[in-house]
Chain A
Amino acid sequence: MKKFMPLILLIILIIFPLVIQNAYYQHLMILVFIWVAIGSGWNVIAGFTGQVSFGDAAFFGTGAYTAGLLAHHFQISAWWGMAFGGIMAMAVAFPFGWICFRLRGAYFALASLALNEVCRHIATIAEPLTQGMVGILIMPTFVSKIPYYYIAFVLAVISVVFVQVVMQSKWGYYFLSIREDQDAAESLGIDTHRYKMVSLNIAAFLTGMAGALFMNYMGFIDPEVVFSLHDISIMAILVGIVGGVGTIYGPAVGAFVMVGVHEFFRTGFFGFFKGMAALTGSDFLNVAAKYISHAHVLGFGILVVLVILYLPNGIVGDWNKLIGRFFSITKKEAAT
């Protein structure tokens, strides 16, 4: 049964947009797929290689801008950005990693945070190139969401499968060795600097592609959106942590949960507060509804605390524990 799970899931996801015609749910699933790719990338560098990065937005934004600028300046289809976006993200990752992988642990994390901010500022200031805060607007290719759905789906599947293949190879073993003990890894003949670079570039490529897809799909980007620290970099970390750091399927599960949570807050608990406000005519609830939708960062914080306390290995990593707990609760209920 467990062996067929991925296959069954794939089939469900393939027929999903044909059955669920509601554009809103299709939109959410597209976001989930984009986050699967980003989360998988983050998981390679942070989860498997142990180099926690706060800089994913730098790669995401670079990918998105590559796609957008190709279309904007050269009238080249933004879909070319899918390939070039990944490569440009690697072009950012390469010098950054070359210099900053001399730093270990928290210092590297801080450097990646700085990379994020530097990229955002460049995109804001370089107006002749990027139009700064005005952002980049391109004509969407498709009216229907279904083509985007399948493209995003393929990107997500490729990301997960690619990471799985990598982790079964020499590279994967080297990444894990670096995570577990960098000194031991060196003594085993592992060029830790080089393989950290490989790992970061894989992450950058996947994240850059996701960024390029985002540009194509949304049709509009600006520096605040695609280089956002909390909406991209922190979200990537959350996808990784909630799903399960260092597990192959963790990012997929994490993406699904986190897009849901994000949406839950953005819509004010799926419109619960607005509805209640309309029902009771309470000004207080109306104001609360407005604030709640801005409070998703706070919500993320609470979620992280809960996950770290109760599921330190994430949903996938602690799956058996989760199931065990669920059954013990239902058993107790049955007994009473």
Chain B
Amino acid sequence: MILFEIKNLVKHFGGLAAVNDVSFQVEKGEIFGLIGPNGSGKTTIFNCISNYYPVTSGSISFKDQNITGMKTNKICKIGIGRTFQVVKPLGRLSVLDNVIAAAFSKVQTKQEARDVAMEILEFCGLSHRKEVIAKSLPIGERKRLEITRAMATRPELLLLDETAAGLNPTELDDAIDLIKKIRDKGVTIIIVEHIMKVIMSISDRIHAINFGQTIAEGIPKEVSNNRAVIEAYLGEEYAQG
């Protein structure tokens, strides 16, 4: 079943076509990898999906509903959660309060929100840090807080933007485990990731772009053997491991 679809998405910044005619479909329950070299337009696609800026043309649909141009907060409400590549913690609030604020998107009372928050913190392995002020977390845990907060809005589709960047090897393994755990919960995931180990090992399918244009799509093996992909992107990095 198709949960989410982008059709002919175009986004111009002035004269620059950051995204140029990208289309893809995401099946319910899968982990869909989105790859491409730096500046190829991955974050811009996410920002178009959550409508941080209007698309130049093209359409976005979720559960057979056209959501192009829907307000950012509404997009979260209908079930699309996201994280930011450049993390955006609610700096002066505690980790718990960050998650409570997110939990309010689906419940009304403080008690309910707190219960949801505690449950999600436990699930994401951050409950031992709940009293800490968000801005004093190290980067690894800030990335984890991004995921935790997005999960507290109870998404059906989760957009992860480089949540593994800047993590040490142990944290990286933890992050992979968490993403798999989230998928096993039934949440569909679109993941943007630079680290090949992560994206190749967890994605069901991968969509590769370069200069805002699609260059390949398929299962990880196909994509990693694709000539255009190797040239554009994997060339240096994948060869090195």
Binding site for B on A (CB under 8 A): 168-170, 173-174, 176-177, 180-181, 183-192
Report the Cα distance A168→B97, complex, angstroms: 11
Q: Could you list some 30 contacts between A and B, CB below 8 A? A: A168-B110, A169-B110, A170-B104, A173-B101, A174-B101, A174-B104, A176-B97, A177-B93, A177-B101, A180-B91, A181-B90, A181-B91, A184-B89, A185-B73, A185-B101, A186-B71, A186-B72, A186-B73, A187-B50, A187-B88, A187-B150, A188-B73, A188-B102, A189-B73, A189-B76, A189-B102, A189-B104, A189-B105, A190-B73, A192-B73
Report the Cα distance A191→B71, complex, angstroms: 9
B88 touches A181 (CB 8 A): yes
Report the Cα distance A191→B149, complex, angstroms: 16
Query: A176-B90, A181-B90 in contact; A187/B100 too (CB < 8 A)?
Result: no
Report the Cα distance A180→B109, complex, angstroms: 21
A85 to chain B, nearest CB (A): 31
Q: Which residues of chain A have C-beta atoms less than 8 A from B73's C-beta?
A: 185-192
Question: B227 near A: Cβ within 8 Å?
Answer: no
Q: Which residues of chain A have C-beta atoms less than 8 A from B93's C-beta?
A: 176-177, 180
Q: Mark B141-180, 1 if CB is under 8 A from A, else 0.
A: 0000000011001000000000000000000000000000
Which residue of the partner chain B has the closest CB to A191?
B73
Q: Which residues of chain B have C-beta atoms less than 8 A from A187's C-beta?
A: 50, 72-73, 76, 81-82, 84, 88, 150
Question: B77 near A: Cβ within 8 Å?
Answer: yes
B110 touches A188 (CB 8 A): no
B90 touches A170 (CB 8 A): no
B92 touches A188 (CB 8 A): no
Binding site for A on B (CB under 8 A): 50, 52, 71-74, 76-77, 81-82, 84, 88-93, 97, 100-102, 104-106, 108-110, 113, 149-150, 153
Q: Which residues of chain A have C-beta atoms less than 8 A from B150's C-beta?
A: 187
Query: A173-B101, A176-B101 in contact; A188/B91 too (CB < 8 A)?
Result: no
Q: Which residues of chain B have C-beta atoms less than 8 A from A184's C-beta?
A: 84, 88-90, 149
A316 to chain B, nearest CB (A): 15
Which residue of the partner chain A has the closest CB to B51?
A186
B105 touches A190 (CB 8 A): yes
A169 to chain B, nearest CB (A): 6
A26 to chain B, nearest CB (A): 39
Which residue of the partner chain B has the closest CB to A169?
B110
Report the Cα distance A292→B93, complex, angstroms: 43
Report the Cα distance A185→B91, complex, angstroms: 12
| 6 nearest A-B pairs in the assembled complex, by CB-CB distance | A189-B105, A189-B76, A180-B90, A184-B88, A186-B72, A173-B101
Report the Cα distance A272→B221, complex, angstroms: 87
Q: Which residues of chain B have C-beta atoms less than 8 A from A177's C-beta?
A: 90, 93, 101
A180 touches B72 (CB 8 A): no
Q: Which residues of chain A have C-beta atoms less than 8 A from B81's C-beta?
A: 187
Q: Which residues of chain A have C-beta atoms less than 8 A from B101's C-beta?
A: 173-174, 176-177, 185, 188, 190
Report the Cα distance A170→B108, complex, angstroms: 7
Q: Which residues of chain B have C-beta atoms less than 8 A from A181's C-beta?
A: 88-91
B147 to chain A, nearest CB (A): 13
Q: Which of B82, B88, B97 has the most CB of A within 10 A?
A: B88
Q: Which residues of chain B have C-beta atoms less than 8 A from A189's C-beta?
A: 73, 76-77, 102, 104-106, 153
Q: Which residues of chain A have C-beta atoms less than 8 A from B89's C-beta?
A: 180-181, 184
Report the Cα distance A319→B50, complex, angstroms: 42
Report the Cα distance A183→B85, complex, angstroms: 13
A188 touches B97 (CB 8 A): no
Report the Cα distance A177→B74, complex, angstroms: 16
- Specify which of B52, B74, B76, B109 is in contact with A188 (CB 8 Å cutoff): B76
Q: Which residues of chain B have C-beta atoms less than 8 A from A169's C-beta?
A: 110
A173 touches B71 (CB 8 A): no
Q: Which residues of chain A have C-beta atoms less than 8 A from B76's C-beta?
A: 186-189
Report the Cα distance A188→B153, complex, angstroms: 7
B92 to chain A, nearest CB (A): 6
Starting from the known contacts A170-B109, A186-B76, 14 additional A-B residue pairs (CB-CB under 8 Å) come to A170-B108, A170-B110, A177-B90, A180-B92, A181-B89, A186-B52, A186-B72, A186-B73, A187-B76, A187-B81, A187-B82, A188-B102, A188-B149, A189-B102
B76 to chain A, nearest CB (A): 4
Which residue of the partner chain B has the closest CB to A183?
B88
Q: Which of B100, B101, B108 has the most CB of A within 10 A?
A: B101
Q: Which residues of chain A have C-beta atoms less than 8 A from B108's C-beta?
A: 170
Q: Which residues of chain B have C-beta atoms less than 8 A from A191's C-beta?
A: 71, 73-74
Report the Cα distance A21→B104, complex, angstroms: 50
Q: Which residues of chain A have C-beta atoms less than 8 A from B77's C-beta?
A: 189
B100 touches A173 (CB 8 A): yes
A173 touches B97 (CB 8 A): yes
Report the Cα distance A278→B49, complex, angstroms: 75
Q: Which of A180, A185, A189 has the most CB of B within 10 A?
A: A189
A183 to chain B, nearest CB (A): 6
